[in-house]
Amino acid sequence: AKPRGRIEPPTLVAIHEAADLLRAGELVGMPTETVYGLAADALDAEAVRRIFAAKGRPADHPLIVHLPGVQHLPRWATDIPGEALALARAFWPGPLTLILKRDPAVPDEVTGGQDTVGLRVPSHPVALALLQVFDSGIAAPSANRFGRISPTTALHVKDELGDKVAMVLDGGPCEVGIESTIVDFSRDPPEILRPGAITSDDIARIIGRRPRLRGEAAIELAAAPAAEAPAPRVSGALAAHYAPRTPLRLVAGERLAGEAALLAGEGSRVAVLAHRAPDPHDSRLIWQSAPADATAYARELYASLRALDALDADFILIETPPAGPHWRAITDRLDRAAAGSGG
């Protein structure tokens, strides 16, 4: 038998093999344009339970079901609002997940027992090829241990999950680099549960109104009694997530050099991700250059966090990214990485 956890180039033979493994109830590492997914047959409750075991993920965190095309939507969701359909037509295949009322056939294991299901059609050619061969829904969370940094290469998946996956299809480094935008249409007005490469402006351009961002809603709710605050339904919405083991802090650009010098002065080894080197002459600082453009920054973000973590420094300092809609998803991930770091 072939070894488990092996990385395979995405030949047609390997893609058919991956589909056969999914049909046999196995887990497969699947490239998507956002991050790599830990894939299982979405209609096989047993296989889906294996996803939770492999990740160490609590069972009440629902999974996204990946579809071969928008034409599969009616098999998984009911009462689909016109605005949701318009977004699917505009952005699929692509990094957008729609939360819709689920069809009764969707297993409870996928939805965490909720009456909604998360659906998306990924644009990565290898994911699309696998979905077309498989011809059904593939449940896939990001292929990392729960709370840890999402994988953007096949090797990251192998490092995270080893032989818990039967194989990993190697689709190269992910183009987008951060997880899909999640829009919840089970409520009105729709709400962005997780920001991503598709911004609220992009969505407003299609449906003519701007969905609320989950954090913004929370600020308004803060005036209401605390008991009304909803339980987290999105693991990506937990304060601590995407987290390196090294303590990580976000520091404003103008304070970065001072803070780095202070920590280094106390004898700490400090890794820095910033647009410019805080002090090129200080050998106690390890500097990694951050792209000035949000698209490139997102693409490299998780690989950079992994690389910085692997340095075994005492601290990681990251320059606070600029404000503005294109940086929103990046700032969201960095805030959670900082909150969960050091554990």
Q: Does 142 bind Mg ion (CB under 5 A)?
A: yes
Cβ atoms of residues 153 and 173 within 8 Å: yes
* CA 126 – CA 329 distance, rounded (Å): 25
Q: Where are the alpha helices (DSSP H) in the chain?
A: 12-23, 45-55, 73-76, 82-91, 108-111, 125-134, 154-161, 200-207, 214-221, 253-265, 294-310, 328-340
Of the residues 94, 141, 151, 340, which one makes contact with ligand TXA according to CB under 6 A: 141
Q: Choose between 45 and 237: whose C-beta lies nearer to Mg ion.
A: 237
Cβ atoms of residues 192 and 214 within 8 Å: yes
Q: Closest residue (Cβ) to ligand TXA?
A: 141
Q: Closest residue (Cβ) to Mg ion?
A: 142
Encoded one letter per residue, x for contact with Mg ion by CB under 5 A and - for no contact, window 313-342 reads ------------------------------
Q: Choose between 127 and 256: whose C-beta lies nearer to Mg ion.
A: 127
Quick one: how far is CA 277 from the chain centroid?
29
Tell me, what amino acid is at 263?
A: L
| Nearest distance from C-beta of residue 17 to ligand TXA, angstroms | 20
| Nearest distance from C-beta of residue 255 to ligand TXA, angstroms | 32
Cis peptide before 291 (omega within 30 of 0): no
| Dihedral in degrees, nearest 10, Cα atoms 329, 309, 139, 167 | 140
Q: Does 234 bind ligand TXA (CB under 6 A)?
A: yes
| Nearest distance from C-beta of residue 203 to ligand TXA, angstroms | 16
Q: Does 180 bind Mg ion (CB under 5 A)?
A: no
CA distances from 316 to 15, 88, 150, 206, 252 (A): 39, 38, 18, 39, 14
Of the residues 123, 136, 153, 180, which one makes contact with ligand TXA according to CB under 6 A: 180
Cβ atoms of residues 279 and 257 within 8 Å: yes
Q: Edge-to-edge, what's the strand order for the sheet holding 270-274?
A: 248-251, 315-319, 270-274, 285-289
Of the residues 34, 153, 199, 320, which one makes contact with ligand TXA according to CB under 6 A: 34
Give the interface segment with ligand TXA, choosing from 32-40, 165-173, 265-273, 275-283 (CB under 6 A).
Answer: 32-40
Considering only residues 82 through 101, tell me which ones interact with ligand TXA, judged by CB under 6 A.
Answer: 95, 97, 99
Q: Does 123 bind ligand TXA (CB under 6 A)?
A: no
* CA 216 – CA 14 distance, rounded (Å): 44
Q: Does 63 bind ligand TXA (CB under 6 A)?
A: yes
Q: Choose between 118 and 195: whose C-beta lies nearer to ligand TXA.
A: 118
Return the DSSP state at 223. T
The item of ligand TXA, Mg ion, none sharing an interface with residue 107, based on CB under 5 to 8 Å by kind, is none
Q: Does 236 bind ligand TXA (CB under 6 A)?
A: yes
List, as one string, the DSSP characters of 259-289.
HHHHHHHTT--EEEEESS-S-TT-TTEEEEE
Of the residues 233, 245, 249, 326, which one makes contact with ligand TXA according to CB under 6 A: 233
Q: Does 68 bind ligand TXA (CB under 6 A)?
A: no
Judged by the rule CB under 6 A, the positions of this chain that interact with ligand TXA are 32, 34-35, 37, 61-64, 95, 97, 99, 111, 114, 116-118, 122, 140-142, 179-180, 182, 193, 233-236
Judged by the rule CB under 5 A, the positions of this chain that interact with Mg ion are 142
